[in-house]
Every structure is written in C-alpha cells, then in structure tokens.
A and B are shown apart, each in its own frame.
Chain A
Amino acid sequence: MLSQKVVLTAPNGMHARPAGELVKLVKSLDGKILFATPAKQVAASSILALLSLGLKCGTEIEISADGGSEQENLQRVVAFVESIKE
C-alpha cells in the first residue's frame, strides 16, 4: 500500500460535483483508493462516504492506494485532488 498526504486547496472544499468526478476516476482504476482524515478513513469509491468526511479547503487528507498499479493510481488521484479549483 502506498500513501501520500495532500492539502485540499479547492476554495469550496470537496463538494458534490468534483466528488462525483473523483468517484468516477477511482472506479476506473484497478485498485482500491482510501481517503483518511484524523477522524476517519473511507473508500473513495463512495461519493456519500467522501462527502461525509466534510473535506474543507485546507484539510489535510491522507490518500492511499491499495492493490493494482498503486504508484500510478495514487499519482492520478493526487493530481485530480490538487486540480480541483471550484
């Protein structure tokens, strides 16, 4: 399992639209992706679970890739999270 910490810079936090896109991306990967905050850890393939983390602008998230091409999966998810601008 590979992990990386990312600070969410999207001004509106992880809201419905980007979360929907993120879930789509995660589902297309060949391994599992987990999102963790100090409070809890969830599978990023569930939009409800993701939104329930309440990720605001400035929240630090630990993203983990488990199984499959971990390195590439992790990189793609991290790049997506960093690219959310709305």
Chain B
Amino acid sequence: MKRLTATVRASEGIAIGRAFVVERGEVVAEPPQGSVEQEQQRFEEALRSSVEQIDALTAVNDVFAAHLEMVQDDMLRESVEAYIGDGASATEAVRRACDDIVAMFEGLDDEYLRERADDVKDVCSRLVANLVGDVRNPFEGLRDGDIIVDNLLTPSDMALVALDKVAGFVTREGGATAHVCIIARNHSIAAVVGLHEVLDCVKQGDLLVVDGGEGVVIVEPDEQTLAEYRMRRDRYAEVRERESASSHERIYDGERFIPVMANAGNVDEVRRAISLGADGIGLFRSEFLYMESAEEPSEEQQYEAYAAAAAACGELPLTIRTLDVGGDKAISWLPFPKEDNPFLGWRAIRVSLELRDMFRRQLRAILRASTAGRVRVMFPMITSVEELREAKLLLDECRVELDMQGIPFAEKVEVGVMIETPAAVFIAPALAAECDFFSIGTNDLTQYVMAADRGNAKVASLCDPYAAAVVEAVRQTIVAAEQSDTECCMCGEFASDSAATQLLIDCGLREFSVNISSVGKIKHRLQEILSK
C-alpha cells in the first residue's frame, strides 16, 4: 500500500477502481525523411488535418476555438519552419517549437496563464500524431469503473474519454484550473492532479482509491483501508443522492410553501434549472443578451429569448431582472464614461432611466413575453421610491402602447425591487407598499453595507455576509416585506450557502433563489431544519 498526496484540490468525490494507465507512443527523434521542401510539405499536410480535427471539436467545448487559433499561429509556424530550414524533420521541428513556446509560458508568474502551456502541448501533440500517422484512441480498452492515470489530460484527450465509464482521474501534471478539473467537477467525477510521483508508483491495473476532496490517492490499499474508503464512498454517494432526491420536492414550513428557485443567465440554464427541480427562476440576468451581441439586441430578439425562458418555466415564475450593467460589468457597444468609483457610479437602473428608449424596448419585450408564461419583472439597484415609480410609469406607458397596437400581454405582470443598497433597506417599508416582491441581492448589499470592495484582497475579509450589520439589514428587509404582505426572496450567493440556511430561516426568509447546482443542497438543508 502506498499513499500519495497532492496539494491541489481538483474535483471532489471518492472513487475505487483499477488504474488505466494511458500508454502514449514515445515519438523517437527521427532524421528528416526528405528534403527541406518535402518536410515543409509534410508539416503543411499535418497542419491541414489538425485544423480539420480541431474545427470539428469546437462544438464540444469552447476551448477548441482557442486551439484553432493556436495551431494556425504565425509564431508556431515560423518557429517550425526555421527548425526545418536548419535540417530537422517536421516532427522534430514541431517538438522543438513546442518546447520553446512552453518554456516561454512556464516563465509567467500567473498560475492560470502558466497552465495554458498545456493547451500548446495539446495542439503540438496533435500535429505530431498527424505527422507520424498515429491516430489511435489512447483510451481504447478502458473498462467501466476504471481510473484514468496519465501524465497530463488535455482538452483533446477529454473529448475522447467516455465520461460515463470513468470513475476517476489522476494526473502527474496540472493545477486546479486544468481542463480535466473543470470537466471532472462538472460531471461530479473524483480527480486528483499534480501528483508528481504517480507514474512511478502506479502500474497498469493496480487497485486505486482516489479521494478528490482530500487530494489523496492510495495505491493497492490493504483490506482495512479499502473497507473504510468503500464506506466513505457509499456515504458520499448517499448524501449526493439525498440532495438530488430533495431537489424535486416541494418544501413546506407547516402550511406555507417555501420555494427554492434558481438563478439563470440564459435560456439553457433556465431549462437545466427547471429539469433539476427548481421551483421557478428567482433571478434571470438579462445582461447576457446585451453582452453577447455586437449592438443593442432588438425588441424582437429580446422577446424571443424571454418568451423561450418563460415557456421553459411552464407554470413556474420567471423573474427577469432588467439590464444590470456598470460597476464590474461593461458592454462593448455601450460607451461608459471613465469613473473613479464604478460601483458607486452609473449602473443598473440608473443607466436604464437615462437611456429610456433602450429601457422601453426591454420593458416591451418583457411584457410581450408574459403571454408565454408567468413573467415577473425586477429592477436592480433601487435607492429611492421615486426611481421605482419612474420605472413603473415607463412600464405602464409600454402597456398603453402595446394595447393601442393590439399586441397582447398578460394582465398581471408582478413588479419587484432588488434590495442591494443600504438605501433600499432603510426605505424598505415604503418600497414594499409600491411593489409586489423584494429580492435581496447579498453580494452587492454586503459590499455596500460594509463599505468594502469584494475585489480588494486587503479588505475582502470585511466583505462578509455573516457580518452582524449585513444580517441585520437582511432581517429588517424581511420584516418590512412581511408587514405589507410583499413577497421576499434572496437571490445572492448567501442563499446558496447551506451553512447560512438556518440563520436565514431564523431571520424569517421563506423564499430562496440559488445557483442551479445548489437547488438540491438547499432543499435538503431546509427539510432537515423544518422537520425539527
């Protein structure tokens, strides 16, 4: 038995299985097969094949769009051509050019950027594979429940792996932002990376225990260790299962229904959230439409997106937050003035109330989408009753316009206010009297209440939603909502934190909107708390 420990946390979970050590054909340095021109020609052909292969992969993962640029990069080509000109074979030239570029990346002082050397290696090994005609799948022979062990798993490798078969991943190289970690986390597969001695200690077919949460790999465990990890694996799976079983439950506090909705940024996310059991969408960030396009999205484009999202929700509510830009969120086609304090500057409702025609187009699109489902509209960064009134007035004007044009919309579209500034907390009773619901945005509320920039490492510790002042602001908001029968939801990160659920229930919160992946976790936690 041998126990190996990595310092990087790659992907949580416990896996027990046989090692599938990936065998890579060792490419030996070869003398040129032909003249300089012929070697250039071979490189061109390999490049063409590689471009075709990578192009076909861009549909699998966005990262391949970057690979496509890399493989056709002038820097790579010039370097390869120079080595061939010096008498190297095309294969040798690609390997040397790759080493040079990797060395350049490895000198960078940022971990994430340093790890992009992996992408370069991936692209170059594809070129080499095409040059030597080695196109076999390195994962052939993988059995169900195997643990893949390799020096490095590149995006190209991961596109070939049958993820439903794999129990775990262990690699010698790589850090927390390596592609394999991202894929493993998204698919809840245990992984440990950056385990330097792994290839020396693990043989083909060895029994392995992988504990991704602890970064531990045990090679050929003894009976007692194996029994212990089997138990831990089953317990982990049980908790997971309970959480996913909870995700479709409706949670009640006595007679009162406690909706656990989800936050979504586009239509696909809405569909995923609903299929996972979310009780609606408590925050639909409309920004994505504005940020993804090269100009302002038309009313028609917006209508289509909102209507598709509303239809995906069926009977459940879709809460559309009107454009929230400024602060840390910029739009390429919308010129923002340079500001000394962007978080205290021109953002969210302040932008909408100034660029009224743009705001009208959004409101019209939202109203029109209300025929497709249960649409609610929510205004961000409100600091006064006047702002709310102005926004509601515009909404009413849009209703009149649509009516006159004979365009249908639902009779009732609820109007809500984001509570994310201290000002909104202080005037919560007045706001509650003029809207249908509140949604507490804890991320901004925390930094505004604590006067601490969450992006500034020196004061980030102050930016704590558990701080007494923030909890008090939340409590006051909920009390104000209750007194005027206004619904009150929380859509900030705090709502997704299962360690905070008890505290929030104690504050009176009875409506949550959480990250899609936290729906099951929060529902399960609520069941625990409310069954007591």
Q: Which residues of A pack against B, CB within 8 Å?
A: 9, 11-17, 19-21, 23-24, 43, 45-49, 51-52, 54-56, 79-80, 82-83, 85
Contacts and interface: CB of A to CB of B under 8 A. Distances in A.
B69 A85 contact: no
B65 A20 contact: yes
Interface of B: 62-63, 65-66, 68-70, 73-76, 101, 104-105, 108-110, 112-113, 116, 119-120, 291, 328-333, 455
Given A46-B73, A49-B75, A52-B105, A13 B66 contact: no
B109 A54 contact: yes
A66 B244 CA distance: 56
Nearest to A56: B110
Contacts of A51: 105, 113, 116
A17 B62 contact: yes
10 contacts: A11-B455, A13-B110, A13-B112, A16-B116, A20-B68, A54-B113, A55-B113, A85-B328, A85-B329, A85-B330
B69 A23 contact: yes
A16 B73 contact: no
A56 B108 CA distance: 10
B74 A46 contact: yes
A11 B329 CA distance: 11
A23 B73 CA distance: 10
Contact residues of A: prevailing secondary structure: helix
A17 B63 contact: yes
A80 B294 CA distance: 10
Q: In the complex, which of the residues A14, A16, A43, A51 has the most CB atoms of chain B within 10 Å of its own CB atom?
A: A16
A49 B78 CA distance: 12
B193 to A, nearest CB: 18
B113 A56 contact: yes
B66 A83 contact: no
A48 B63 contact: no
B439 to A, nearest CB: 22
Top 6 A-B residue pairs of the complex, sorted by shortest distance between their CB atoms: A20-B66, A54-B108, A83-B332, A16-B66, A47-B69, A79-B332
Nearest to B70: A47
Contact of B119 (A16, A43, A52): A16
B77 to A, nearest CB: 10
Contacts of A14: 113
Contact of A20 (B69, B74, B75, B76): B69
